[in-house]
Structure 1
Amino acid sequence: MKVPDNLYFVHLSIHGLIRGENLELGRDADTGGQCKYVVELVKALAEHEKVGQVDLFTRRVIDPKVSDDYAQPVEALGNNAFIKRIQAGPRRYLRKETLWRYLDAFIDHSLAVFRQNHRLPDIIHAHYADAGYVGSRLASLLGCPFIFTGHSLGRSKLERLLANNADPGKIRRRYNLPARIEAEELALDTAALVCTSTNQEVEQQYSTYELYAPERMRVIPPGVDVSRFSPPGSAEVPGEVTEKIERFLDHPERPCILAIARADEKKNLRSLVKAFGESEHMRHRANLVLVAGNRDKISQLDPGARKVWTELLQLIDDYDLYGVVSIPKHHQPDEIPAFYRYAADKKGLFVNPALTEPFGLTLIEAAASGLPVLATNDGGPRDILANCQNGELIDPLDVPALTEALERATSDPERWQQQSTNGLKGVSDHYTWSGHVETYLEATAGLLEEITKPHLIKEKVRTALPLADRIMFTGLEDNPLDSDPAAIERLRELTASNIPKLGFGIATGRSLKMSRALIEKHGLPEPDVYITQLGGEIHYSKRQILDLSWEKHLAHRWEPERIMEVLEGIPGMTIQEEEGRQHQFKISYNYEKGVAPRRREIQKLLRENNIPAKVILSMGCWLDVIPLRSGKGNAIRYIAMRWGIPADKVLFYARRGSDYEALSGQFLAVLGSDHSLELKSTASLPRVYLAKNPNFAGLLEGVEAYQFDGEIRVPDSAKRLMPEEAEERESVLSPDMVVHMSDGEDN
């Protein structure tokens, strides 16, 4: 299939510290192989003749504890490739588990970048769960194909932690795995293509997810930069690297057993030290070199790394390995290739004894350096060694077997030479970035035929909105509190006195006809925009002009007949038959609490039937199924972007479960005193003002709190940026995660 020209790709990799050169790999658990993978992929992709531009969106960090490089809004990578850093939450560096509550702000700031650049991406590709959440939301809004690469999956991590008898409560607080897993489910819901590095990921890891669709998964192994990683003779080993290694060694001429990994328990370096120490052969005929991050004082490392180093030093002492183990304190990122060449020059071996290894980029780097390997028999190493034939798989927990493998690998020079040669050929045949990009573009070509982008930049509909620089939205509920004449009169005065700068919109689950009737009944101001049927329709002005672009946008992968077939006969759920309840983009049910399954069980059922859709529970008694691209929050973001209204000049009054998407990001949210229990968990989120009044009085209270008709400000009571110590103590979910993981009420 022909690949179009001038493609614009946006890659998302949010957590960690990312820059174009000298990546601080191993600095912490968030700055590892994924960062390198994404940067090298973006650079290689931008060099292809069919690609016009590639942007890598990551989080902007302004923190004296890290380099100023991470504070630069834009960094050029060459060949029309750029890193664009997006503000989200506090300016300081945060570990990935604490980023969830700020991801919706990342979405809004990303939309602002697209608007500013006057160009929408042709494809969005997200890396890891946090970016998967952001990418799925952006792609659903923008109508472009979405690609997901999980790198490391939450269900696999949870399984490992529970197998090691970790406390479930501590798992939730420390790793926020429920949010991570739900984000991965949302990403798989949305993804047109899932890129993996190994067959094992497809067959054993993704198969544990609710929407498992192997037909949408493609194994495309990453490449290695062969200009940097090459065998001995291609480049000298700098004297500084040799000195860093050999100052610990009595006999530096011996074969070098090399391990390069973070000081992390799951990297299992202790088993390697034990295996080496148990062997008299290894102690007298080889050296062990452990490159495990940088350190000044072990006492100043984070608790996990401190624990690992303390154990390693105890093992070195227990086995009396002084003079045969090298533990360099510092290294620069650009010195890593030299460590591999040093070990290869000594006819040594690279060992990856990790408990689990999603891919194993270091194994490819070793192979490209002519260095044979021993690697864990979990995950990516199986595919790599099958392709390269340059080593042996080992059980990382079987120390005696690892000892025997080390002895075999260092006792047969002919075998070593053959594996070294095999590795170089295997990399050339299977693991180059140019080959990766060709396969990648071939896989994405078919996706581009399905693009249904709304016209977000240029508009033709004539309304008052192009003149507005801010807009407020509220719902419509027909109950006595809504007919408060004093509040409605104040609302009319507010909108009339601020024409044309202040827009007014309705966002409701009702039909347009019912909404118009309520507006006339209560004497409400004439809306500039109507969002009805939970985002199923958008109309503009008193003339009620239908947005046909939005309608076409929602039809993508929407299968109402299949949904009704799958949900037919479920206890406690009956189709709402009143006029105006059903819509081409909304299926509405009466929901009997305590009889019907929980909302998340219904969502799971749809996913297991490969049906992408949103399931929304409101007031504990109404359940709606809508397209993945629909929803009040998506509709409001669409309108704001189309008409050029910044997200931080959108005010939304929320009270029902269907409002959850708009209680996020840069929107100025007002949570009415009459809000339903589905929204109770969102009260602690940033930029959510808790009104003391219900309905239109609550809306007006929020307008006053935000000074929305003047110089907008966020009141202190709505800022809620968590202090650093609180973020490190417990992770907090985004509103989308809250609602997708819980119904808000027990039933």
Structure 2
Amino acid sequence: MSDLLNALINSEEKIDWRHFVSDIRQQEKRYLLRNDILSAFTNYCINHQKSSEFPKKSNLSKLIYYTQEIILEDGSLCLIIRPKIASQEVYRVTEDLKIEPMTVQELLDVRDLLVNRFHPNEGDIFEIDFGPFYDYSPTIRDPKNIGKGVQFLNRFLSSKLLQDPQKWLEALYKFLSLHSYNNLQLLINDRIKSQQELSDRVKQGLKLVSDLPADEPYQNFRYELQTMGFEPGWGNTASRVRDTLSLLDELIDSPDPQTLEAFISRIPMIFRVVLVSIHGWFGQEGVLGRPDTGGQVVYVLDQAKSLEQELQEHICLTGLEVLGVESKVIILTRLIPNNDGTRSNQRLEKVHGTENAWILRVPFREYNPNITHNWISRFEIWPYLETYAIDAERELLAEFQGRPDFIVGNYSDGNLVAFLLARRLKITQCNVAHALEKSKYLFSNLYWQESDDKYHFSLQFTADLIAMNAANFLISSTYQEIVGTPDSVGQYESYKCFTMPELYHVVNGIELFSPKFNVVPPGVNENVYFPYTRQEDRIPNDRDRLEQMLFTQEDSGLIFGKLDDPSKRPLFSMARLDRIKNMTGLAECFGKSERLQEHCNLILIAGKLRVEESGDNEERDEIEKLYRIIDQYNLYGKIRWLGVRLPKNDSGEIYRIIADRQGIFVQPALFEAFGLTILESMISGLPTFATQFGGPLEIIQDKVNGFYINPTNLEETAEKIWEFVSKCEHNSNYWQEVSQRGIERVYSTYTWKIHTNKLLSLGRIYGFWNFTSKENREDLLRYLESLFYLLYKPRAQRLLERHLHS
């Protein structure tokens, strides 16, 4: 990018550059983000009457396109340029047009000065740098392959097998001899004493099973295999054992990535799984819509059900079912003594529809029962997590009657607890970050001191850095969660370098090109959410009851608004009432469009109806705002607001009822990491409009099976929805066409079977990688422990002291 800068400044366009800089200096802002920069450039072109070609083909326009941020300094400015995804360059341009490359440290100093918190000459600041810990690990080169970590890792491991077959076959031999279940040896026994002997015995075993009928049960030839050195775990029939041994034989003779993944995915090494989801009201009914309780609960419950089924199928296929081997999945969450009518005070609860999946609730220690016996906001939860992990370890060991094999953390708090548990139990750790708050709150790190009393970002961002670097692998729902798009920075990318003035500088917070990143989108519960056309699976009584609740039932204390004409096309949305979910923005969008009001009703299922009923500050603010909008735009008779918490089955039927009336689902979030409600609405058959900021970009194909909206531009959003409504009224088939394409999109890509199959395959392959690579993670883990005890724990202790005196 320095070439482009030099070309600009050494051409006639340097006059335009001076004028553009002069224009932006007239603004009050000293820190311009991408949207500010693009808007300022558009205004510059208009005000200076530039030609129609200038905004597209000039050097200045090219520079503007790649510039992510501009910081105005006295006498110069700092350009943060993103020439490509996951890459950043920083330059200072002086008044006399000198171009000086800047280091990350210099950039962070400039940002500190911007908030007048810290001057770099007044002393050093703590620097966090994870870069050296990734120097000895393989890294991906091409940004488009970020998120395909396991594919890269398989290629890397296969190449190692070819380069040094003796070493890697020895590692493979040792790895196969490791596995057992409750003292039952699996795969190979001590009759096979070396990797060469393993190779010979594989060929003997293949000859044995090849002569047997394909469906011959494993039990019938178990002892013949055992005398060769093969223990249970290779398959449940002769054909399954033959296929598994063939893969190993091929891997020994001529390794390739596909064979490696196929073989490792067959190894019985994961039986007991922990899913960690700490905050909120975790339950199977009566919890959704409460503060901090939404899509993550749905995600984890559905994941647990599918995992248990997938694990049990794998046990059956490996021939271990007849030996009494069982899978077990535990969702580890928080026990809340003052349960407010939920089951959150029950220690153990079986997951509906499963044989051996459980919710295990462990309480926070009673530092102050007025706090710890009640729900605690996800922003206030941090002081209790270390002792919680210690208590949870004891409970998990008792429930599993041994160590779990695999742990999956969810969200920042669950990921930190997963780190603490994985460290103590020495098991493979996977992290899921459904949404990282750093991306949701603008300048949340830069101005952290102004909001730390309310949000405690200093704790959360430190916890994120620790957990994401500790994890053996991370899964995201979308590619752009990791590294964004050409126009926007990804959630994880935002942790690459940042400052928290007077606390620390992060000069390298995460290696985006590490193979630990994998895109594994979630699924949708097909038993609850299915197309509205499947009338035979719908329950008429439920439909009648819910239809009345949505459109005609009199105010019951849980419903606001009576519709003048319930037959109008419904615009529907369902989400928590918080700022990011932006339900108030949708109401205002509706209020600004007389055409939408004339042809549609707005139906919202969102939070509570009264301020005094909510204990969440953001929810209270949004309740007040929604009432103001209804008054301002006189939406009485056109809006229906339900403050209800729905059982899952009811929410599925509600989507279908809206679809019966050829309605529309609108997801107006300011940012959405993924968007399970989008999958739910699409599979139900509802044409869906969803935010262009976040995961929906990878779910929806715009104007094919859904539509993108910019929730910050209410008039444009209203126009897009109206355009669709108008088309539907002029073409009776248009609604059905979009509806059907949405259904097909979900079934082809977003099922839980696809998700859990991939997740378990990743768990096995990263377990194999950790063993065979002999990668020294101890230095990294010690560094992470230092951050935990020196940065995280003292701040958590101060928050705890505040809670003790509440």
The normalised TM-score by structure 1 is 0.60
Of 295, 299, 311, 2:612 maps to 299
Partner Cα separation in structure 1 for residue 596 and residue 794 of structure 2: 58
1:384 aligns with 2:699: yes
Distance 2:793 2:651 in 1: 50
**Does structure 1 retain, via aligned residues, the 8 Å contact 2:334–2:361?**
yes
For residue 297 of structure 2, what is the aligned residue in structure 1? 35
The Cα of 1:42 is off from its aligned counterpart by 0.7
Is the 8 Å Cα contact of residues 127 and 148 (structure 1) preserved in structure 2? yes
- Give the Cα–Cα distance (whole angstroms) in 1 for the partners of residues 794 and 306 of structure 2: 43
Once the two structures are TM-superposed, the CA of residue 444 in structure 1 deviates from its matched residue by: 1.9
1:220 aligned to which of 520, 535, 546: 520
Residue deviations 1:2-37 (CA, integer Å, cap 9, x gap): 333362111111111112x21522211x11211111
The reply on whether 1:415 has 2:728 as its aligned counterpart is no
Name the aligned partner's letter for residue 493 of structure 2: S
* Structure 2 unaligned blocks of 5 or more: 1-261, 316-326, 366-371, 484-489, 496-508, 553-561
Quote the Cα distance in structure 2 between the aligned partners of 1:612 and 1:679: 16
RMSD: 2.8
Partner Cα distance (1:35, 1:92) in 2: 18
Contact 1:254–1:286, Cα closer than 8 Å, also in 2: yes
For the pair 1:614 / 2:801, whether they are aligned, the reply is no
1:558 is aligned, of 776, 781, 785, to 776
**1:513-566 superposed Cα distances (whole Å, 9 cap, x missing partner):** xxxxxxxxxxxxxxxxxxxxxxxxxxxxxxxxxxxxxxx9xx96327xxxxxxx
Rounded to whole Å, the distance in 1 between the matches of 2:670 and 2:792 is 40
- The 4+ residue runs of structure 1 with deviation greater than 6 A are 677-680
Q: Who is 2:44 aligned against?
A: none
Following superposition, the deviation at residue 362 of structure 1 comes to 0.6
> Residue 240 of structure 1 is aligned with which of 545, 554, 557?
545
Report the Cα offset of residue 288 of structure 1. 0.8
**Partner AA of 1:187 in structure 2:** A
Cα separation, 2, equivalents of 1:683 and 1:448: 32
Deviations 1:196-234 (A, max 9, x none): 001110111112221224421111111111211122243
Residue 109 of structure 1, CA deviation: 1.1
Unaligned runs of 5+ in 1: 453-551, 560-584, 586-610, 616-627, 632-656, 662-676, 687-719, 727-747
Secondary structure of 2:528's counterpart equals coil
What are the Cα deviations for residues 271-328 of structure 1, in whole angstroms up to 9, with x where unaligned?
Answer: 3222222222211111110111244x33333442232222222222222222221112
The change in CA–CA distance for 1:378 and 1:684 in structure 2 (over 3 A counts) is closer
Bigger mean CA offset, 338-347 vs 348-357: 338-347
CA contact (8 A) 2:440 2:580 kept: no
Question: Per the alignment, do residues 342 and 67 of structure 1 end up closer, same or farther by CA in structure 2, a change over 3 Å counting?
Answer: same
The answer to whether the Cα contact below 8 Å between 2:280 and 2:293 also exists between their aligned partners in 1 is: yes
Q: What aligned pairs does 1:84-103 form with structure 2 within 5 A after superposition?
A: 84-89=360-365, 90-103=372-385
Trace 1:661-740 onto structure 2 (pairs within 5 A). 681=794, 723=803, 726=806
- 2: CA distance, partners of 1:319 / 1:724: 45
Aligned with residue 426 of structure 1, among 745, 751, 773: 745
Secondary structure in 1 aligned to 2:642? coil
SS in structure 1 opposite 2:596? Answer: helix
Partner amino acid, structure 2, of 1:447: Y
1:47 aligned onto 2:321: no
Q: Is the 8 A contact 1:62 1:68 kept in 2?
A: no
Structure-2 change in CA distance of 1:449 and 1:231 (3 Å): same
CA distance in 1, matches of 2:590, 2:796: 55
Provide the rounded CA distance (Å) in 2 between the counterparts of 1:373 and 1:678: 44
The question of 1:153 aligning with 2:436 is answered yes
* C-alpha separation in 1, matches of 2:744 and 2:703: 7
2: CA distance, partners of 1:614 / 1:275? 51
Could you tell me which residue of structure 1 aligns to residue 201 of structure 2?
none
The match for 2:422 is 139
Note the alpha carbon deviations across 1:149-182, whole angstroms, 9 max, x for none: 111113213436579xxx6434211111121111
Describe the superposition over 1:457-476 as per-residue Cα deviations: whole angstroms up to 9, x where unpaired.
xxxxxxxxxxxxxxxxxxxx
| Secondary structure of the structure 1 residue equivalent to 2:701 | helix
Query: In structure 1, how many angstroms separate the alpha carbons of the residues matched to 2:548 and 2:667?
Result: 24
| 1:262 maps onto 2:576 in alignment | yes
Q: Distance in 2 between matches of 1:359 and 1:684?
A: 33
Partners of 1:288 and 1:390 in 2: how far apart? 22
1-side partners of 2:472 and 2:716: how far apart?
A: 43
Map 1:66-81; keep pairs closer than 5 Å.
66-67=340-341, 69-77=343-351, 78-81=354-357
Q: Which amino acid aligns with 2:393?
A: L
Looking at structure 2, the residues matched to 373 and 68 of structure 1 have their Cα atoms a distance apart, in angstroms, of 32
Secondary structure in 2 matching 1:97: coil
* Cα separation, 2, equivalents of 1:680 and 1:31: 26
CA distance, structure 2, for counterparts of residue 683 and residue 15 of structure 1: 16
Amino acid at match of 1:82: W
Distance 1:398 1:317 in 2: 21
Distance 1:416 1:160, change over 3 A: farther
Counterpart Cα distance in 2 of 1:679 and 1:16: 22
Aligned counterpart, 1:195: 475
The structure with more helix, counted as a fraction of residues: 2
- Count of aligned positions: 480
Q: CA deviation at 1:722?
A: 5.8
Q: Give the match for residue 331 of structure 2.
A: 56
- Once the two structures are superposed, the pairs formed by residues 384-403 of structure 1 within 5 Å of their partners are 384-386=699-701, 389-403=704-718
Contact kept, 8 Å, 1:12 with 1:131, in 2: the verdict is: yes
Which residue does the alignment assign to 1:82?
Answer: 358
Task: Tell me, in whole angstroms, the C-alpha distance in 2 between the residues paired with 1:374 and 1:107.
Answer: 40
Change (3 A) 1:681 1:398: closer
* Distance in 2 separating the partners of 1:144 and 1:250: 59
Instruction: Give, in angstroms, the shift of residue 112 of structure 1.
Output: 1.0
2:68 is aligned to none
Counterpart residue number, 2:493: 207
Residue 320 of structure 1 pairs with residue 634 of structure 2: yes
Q: Is the 8 A contact 2:382 2:796 kept in 1?
A: no
DSSP 3-state at the match of 1:275: helix
TM-score for the superposition, normalised by structure 2:
0.56
Residues 1:172 and 2:452 are matched in the alignment: yes
What SS does structure 1 have at the residue aligned with 2:532? coil
Q: Deviations over 1:314-350 (max 9, x none)?
A: 2222222222211123342232122211211111110
